[in-house]
Amino acid sequence: MNDFEAQLPALIDALAHTGWVVYDDFLSQDQATALRAEGQRRQQLGEFHRAAVGRADARSQRDEIRGDNVRWLDPQQPSDPEHAYWQRINALQGSLNRELFLGIREGEFHYAHYPVGSFYKRHLDRFRDDDARVVSVVCYLNSGWQTHDGGQLRLWHDPDQADHYTDIAPQAGRLVLFLSERYWHEVLPAQQPRWSITGWMRR
Ligand code: OGA
Ligand code: MN
């Protein structure tokens, strides 16, 4: 059992009580660095594409809404650096099901790269016509991130209170979980290239 697995019950408890949680040691600094390098390698191979908004017929690329590039992970063919990620994600999924009965059956996860100056405007991770996404799972890969690098995840606690939010820096190794249905959120403009693996536990 690694440290993350030992912390899982407390983490799940926090998620159940407040609907969101931050955990700083999901990945070691070395693991986060290796995953960022792996993302960069895949990007150089041309495996990334511009992220879109909306679903099916309504899908479109909208620079004024989001500016990230993504590459979906394939759980069937993990590369070496991706093993540590999947091991932890599988443990997380098992715990969520055992302890919260969320009925999660699968996950979908992608690398996301935000070039300098890009952002993702306030949104919900649930599509209007699809309630499959239950828990949003964001893991950051940025070593030495500073406050002036921007790129914080802004999470609103109440959609009707504009000033009631928490800003979370995209520090290497950090994990953020929140209920996809409940939390409006935004990625503030990044002043450095910003790397993450973002995903959703689905029922
Ligand atoms: C998303 C998203 C948050 C982040 O990809 O839907 O909101 O901090 N990501 O990267
Ligand atoms: Mn989102």
- Measure 185 CA to ligand 1 centroid, in angstroms: 8
Domain containing residue 16: CATH number: 2.60.120.620
Question: Is residue 29, in this structure, part of any structural domain at all?
Answer: yes
Give nearest CA residue, ligand 1 atom 5. Answer: 198
What is the SS3 assignment for 163?
Answer: coil
Question: Is residue 123, in this structure, part of any structural domain at all?
Answer: yes
101 pLDDT tier (thresholds 50, 70, 90): confident
What is the SS3 assignment for 203?
Answer: coil
158 pLDDT tier (thresholds 50, 70, 90): very high
pLDDT in tens, 11-68: 999 999 999 999 999 999 999 999 999 999 999 999 999 998 887 777 888 888 999 9
The answer to whether the CB of 153 is under 6 A from ligand 1 is yes
**Residue 156 contacts residue 165 (beta carbons within 8 Å):** yes
Question: Is residue 137, in this structure, part of any structural domain at all?
Answer: yes
Structurally, the chain folds into a number of domains equal to 1
**Residue 115 contacts residue 192 (beta carbons within 8 Å):** no
134 pLDDT tier (thresholds 50, 70, 90): very high
Question: Is residue 202, in this structure, part of any structural domain at all?
Answer: no
Question: Is residue 146, in this structure, part of any structural domain at all?
Answer: yes
Determine phi and psi for 197, rounding to 5 degrees.
-115, 120
The answer to whether the CB of 22 is under 6 A from ligand 1 is no
- Identify any residues that bridge with 142 across adjacent strands, giving them in sequence order: 171
Residue 109's nearest CA partner among 187, 30, 201 is 201
Question: Is residue 49, in this structure, part of any structural domain at all?
Answer: yes
pLDDT at 152 over 80: yes
- Please state the rounded mean pLDDT for residues 122-127: 91
Interatomic CA distance for residues 60 and 62, integer angstroms: 6
pLDDT in tens, 80-97: 999 999 999 999 999 999
Percent of the chain with pLDDT over 70: 100
Question: Is residue 203, in this structure, part of any structural domain at all?
Answer: no
Which residue shows structure tokens 């996860």? 109
Q: Which domain holds residue 16?
A: 3-197
